[in-house]
Amino acid sequence: MSIRMTLSTAGRILRQLVHDRRTIALVVAVPALLLVLLRYVMDSQPHIFQSVGLSMLGVFPFISMFLVTSVAMLRERTSGTLERALTTPVHKFDLICGYALAFTLAAVVQSVIASAVAYWWLDLDTDGPAWLVIVIAAANAVLGLALGLFASAFANTEFQAVQFMPAIVLPQVLLCGLIWPRDQMADWLEKISDVLPLTYAVDALGEVGSHSDATRTLWWDLAIVAGCAVAALILGAATLRRRTA
C-alpha cells in the first residue's frame, strides 16, 4: 500500500464529487431532509421522534453511502477508469482506501449536517453529547460505503448495484431493533441480528440517548462497526475487478 497513491486517488474522487451536484445532494442533503420528513410525519407525537429519529441518524447515512459508493465504483469499471488506473503502480487496496478516504470526508460532512438539523431544528434531545452522535453516524456512513464498495464487485450494471440494497441493507434495517425489539423476535432472527453490524450502530446510538457519558457498551459497539467496515474494505480490495464482464 502507498500513502501517496491513496491520497492521489482520494483527491481525484473528491474533485469528481465537487462537480457532481446530484451526488453531493444525495450525500449531504438527503439524510437531513429525510429526518425533517420523519419528524413531521410524527408531528402528533413528537416524543417518539426522540428515539426513532436518533436511530435514523445512523440508518439514513448508512443507506445513502451504500448507494453512492456502489454505483460510483461500478461506474469506474464500466468507464474504463479503473482498468487504466490499475495499469499504473497503484494497488487495488490503494484504490479502495482512496475511495474510502474521500467518501469518509463526505460522510463526516453528512453526519455533521444531519445532526445539526436534528438537534437545532427538530429539537432532538439526548442524555449523551452531540459529538458522540456525530461520531457514530459517521462510522455508520463509513460502514455503508465499505459495504457498497464490496457489493459493487459483484454487479455488472448500475441497476444490479442498486439491487444489492434489498439483500445487504434492508435485512439489517429490519433486524437491527429499530422496527421491533430484538429480544421479542424469533430466536433464530435474534441470532442473525447479533452478527449484523447495523445492530451495533443502532445500539450505540441508543446508549448515547440514555446515558450522559460514553459507556463501555457504546465503545464496544463502535469498535464492532469499525471492524466490520475495515473487513468490508479488505474484502472489497480482494474482489475488485478491473472491469465488468
pLDDT 10s digits, 169-187: 999 999 998 888 898 999 9
Report pLDDT for 87: 60
Tell me the mean pLDDT in the region 114-129: 89
226 is written with which cell numbers?
A: 469499525
Round to whole Å and give the CA distance between 13 and 73. 10
pLDDT range class, residue 161, cuts 50, 70, 90: confident
pLDDT range class, residue 19, cuts 50, 70, 90: confident
Q: Are 65 and 139 in contact (CB under 8 A)?
A: no
CB burial class (10 A; 0-12, 13-18, 19+) of residue 75?
middle
Q: pTM (2 decimals)? A: 0.85
Q: How many other CB atoms sit within 10 Å of the CB of residue 30?
A: 18
Residue burial 187-199, b: 16+ Cβ < 10 Å; e: rest: eeebebbeebbbb
DSSP states of 202-228 as a string? HHHHHHHHH-SS--HHHHHHHHHHHHH
Per-residue pLDDT reduced to its tens digit, 133-148: 999 988 998 899 889 8
DSSP states of 29-44 as a string? IHHHHHHHHHHHHTTT
Note every long-range contact of 238-243, with CB atoms under 8 Å and residues 24 or more positions apart, other chains counting. 238/92, 239/150, 239/153, 239/154, 240/82, 240/92, 240/95, 240/96, 240/153, 241/77, 241/153, 242/77, 242/82, 242/83, 242/86, 243/77, 243/78, 243/80, 243/82, 243/83
pLDDT over 70 percentage in the chain: 90
pLDDT range class, residue 156, cuts 50, 70, 90: confident
Flag whether pLDDT at 242 surpasses 70. no
Tell me the mean pLDDT in the region 2-13: 77
Flag whether pLDDT at 165 surpasses 70. yes
Flag whether pLDDT at 192 surpasses 90. yes
Tell me the mean pLDDT in the region 55-67: 88
Report pLDDT for 190: 92
Flag whether pLDDT at 131 surpasses 80. yes
Flag whether pLDDT at 244 surpasses 60. no
Closest CA to 168 of 69, 45, 21, 29: 69
